[in-house]
Amino acid sequence: MPHYSSQSDDELLFRLRNGDEQAFATLYRRRQGAIYRFAVHMSGSAEVAEDITQEVFLALLREDCGFDPERGTLSGYLFGIARKLVLRGLERGRTDVPLESDSDDAAPRQLAVNDDPLAGLTQREAIEALRRAVQALPRRYREVVVLCDLEEVDYADAAVALGCPIGTVRSRMHRARALLLEKLNQDRKPRVAVDAWKPMRYAI
């Protein structure tokens, strides 16, 4: 009896191709969470993410799925399929995330100078603020943040998933973090303004 949990993705893939249901279940449980979360972050919809997750693993069941271990890991390959499905969904308009312009905001704006952009927030508030900031990123930056920061995919796998060189992943990460800081600082200013108005509203 093989110890499925200790087997590599490639070994599990080989087994499932030979009809081993336990291998398929193990591989699915190992990888579904990251794929589903990536799809949620990218589409903004749990329903869409559910469909994408299903499609990703159905693609894996096909003999001609196109996975080549020489070109990258199975994880990177699965993220790549999920990304394509997300993009297809975006093209069809099936998403809860507004279709922002992917322009690179040619002139770099002044970077935030606050020591801690999340200071003064509770853990839950900080995470919610970050989630909104990530969600507001242009798609090309959002996907690198989700992959590399939230899912801790290494740059090489991310490059496979995104179909670009590692250097591009690095530069997008750098830019994405700058945009996140900017967004968080913008959000902090209205918060202060709202807080300032509260006593007056309560007084009325």
Partner 1 sequence: MNCHEFWDDLPQKGGDISTAQAAHLAECAACAAQWTPQRALAAGLRSMGEEWRKVEAPPRVEAGLTAAFRAQAGLAARRRLRRAWWTPVFGWAAATAGTIALATVLIHGYQPAPVKPRTVASPRHTVQSPVEMAVLDADSDDDTSALGEGFVRLPNAPRIEPNEDYNVVRVEVPGSAMIDAGISLGEDRAAETVLADVALGPDGTPRAVRLVPDGGTN
Examine residue 199 and tell whether it contacts partner 1 (CB under 8 A): no
C-beta closer to partner 1: residue 80 or 130: 130
| Options 30, 45, 72, 118; binder of partner 1; rule CB under 8 A | 118
Which is closer to partner 1, CB of 104 or CB of 197?
104
Binding mask 22-51 for partner 1 (x = CB under 8 A): --xx--xx--xx-xxx--x--------xx-
* 148 scored as a contact of partner 1 (CB under 8 A): yes
CB 128 within 8 A of CB 195: no
Q: Which of 9, 43, 184, 188 binds partner 1 (CB under 8 A)?
A: 184
Asked whether 22 and 7 are in contact (CB, 8 A), the reply is no
Binding site for partner 1 (CB under 8 A): 16, 19, 21, 24-25, 28-29, 32-33, 35-37, 40, 49-50, 53-54, 57-58, 61, 111-119, 123, 126-127, 130-131, 134, 145, 148-152, 154-155, 170, 174, 177, 180-181, 184
